[in-house]
Amino acid sequence: MSLEDQKVKILYKTLTKHYWGKNIPDKEKTMPFTEIYDVILYIKKLAKKNKIRDLKGDKFCFLENFKIESDPEAKKMVIYGFIKSARNQFRPNLINKKTGAERPNPKLLTEGDIQKTHFAILIDENYDEVYFIHQHNYYGVTINNILDYFKYFSKEYAKKIDGALNFTLKYYIIPKDDFLEALNAMSRVKIADVYINKQILGSESLNLSNRTVNIKNEIKLSIGAKKRESIKSFAVDLFNELNGGNKSISKVRVEGKDIRGNDLIIDTSFMNKLDFITVPRNTDTGELMTNQVYAELKYLIEKI
């Protein structure tokens, strides 16, 4: 790795919306945040000054750039982009490393050094998921900053289309551990989703084989725990069925809490969801080369 290259950590999440209201069935209260596409298009049309949001610690951020790749046949859409952030209200003198000489910093107190945090969003209709993979940038924005940013503009977008925002945005961590190891480490399992082949509808118990032509090849069956209970053992059984070669099961997805009480989601599609990429830096500015980051993110997205 040359001096111009940098090793970058990439983290994986899923984005969901949690609806409010008493009349909403439990199975519909948590849904993938597919509206992220509409919200990003809404942000794009705004003047740059209206895209900016303040963060804690004298920082601000805004969505600067993105591109969309759509594959209707595969029922997938990918959005590549980055959020720019900077810290203002801070301009100490500059010092020359070779001579030790100091000079006043020419930037204004309303200006700051740009940090880019790159991301890619995969909207996958097949698995009914919105995956969010992003660069870990200590000096940039965090996942909570990003989520708060999209929450704000989701509310603004809802106002524009004469609606009210009736959901909360959340993200779930996709851990790097082996599925069973991560499952056993969970303190509580609230929901287990099992994806099964539609042929099971034609079994003796249902006998619906002649009515499944227009149904997706895979059907999601959601099993929820009773209030304050856990279905961890049941989830382990599902995984063992899949791992044992049960051809009617294609995927198991589990939602619950880790030992610190954080929301956690694990998925048999992901056995190692922390990656590193190596990308060149601009030798003049020190910034990562965005096109190269996008190329690496595209490679990772294609493995999902």
Burial class (CB in 10 A: 0-12, 13-18, 19+), 37: middle
Select the more confidently predicted residue: 34 or 275. 34
- Residue 189's nearest CA partner among 197, 198, 180 is 180
Nearest to 258 by CA among 250, 266, 269: 266
pLDDT at 3 over 70: no
pLDDT in tens, 81-107: 999 998 876 777 788 878 888 887 777
Least confident among 62-71, 121-130, 258-267: 258-267
Q: Domain residues of the chain, as ranges? A: 5-174+273-302, 185-254
Assigned token pair, 291: 């096109």
Contact criterion met (CB below 8 Å) for 123 and 34: yes
> 64-84 burial, b for 16+ CB within 10 Å, e for fewer?
eebeeeeeeeeebbbbbbbbb
The residue-averaged pLDDT of 16-41 equals 84
Residues in the chain: 304
Higher pLDDT, 176 or 181: 181
Mean pLDDT, the chain, whole residue set = 82
Contact status, residue 12 vs residue 270, Cβ threshold 8 Å: yes
* Residue 10 · residue 277 · CB < 8 Å: yes
The Cα–Cα gap between 148 and 152 comes to 6
* 82: helix, strand or coil: strand
CA-to-CA dists, residue 171 to 192, 207, 211, 252, angstroms: 17, 38, 36, 18
Of all residues in the chain, the percent with pLDDT exceeding 70 is: 85
Cα 176 to the center of its chain, rounded Å: 15
Q: How many angstroms separate the CA atoms of 88 and 73, rounded? A: 46
Q: Is 261 left (phi over 0), alpha (psi -120 to 50) or beta?
A: left
**Does 286 score more than 60 pLDDT?**
yes
HSE-up of residue 127 (Cα within 13 Å, Cβ side): 18
226-273 pLDDT per residue, tens: 988 999 999 888 888 876 767 677 788 888 888 877 788 888 766 446
Query: Which pLDDT score, from 0 to 100, does residue 217 have?
Result: 62
The encoded tokens of residue 196 equal: 């099964």
- Residue 121 β-bridge partners: 79, 132
Euclidean distance between CA atoms 289 and 116, whole angstroms:
10
User: Nearest 10 degrees: CA dihedral of 108, 112, 114, 115?
Assistant: 180
pLDDT reading at 154 higher than 50: yes
Q: Residue 149, class by beta-carbon neighbours within 10 Å (0-12 exposed, 13-18 middle, 19+ buried)?
A: buried
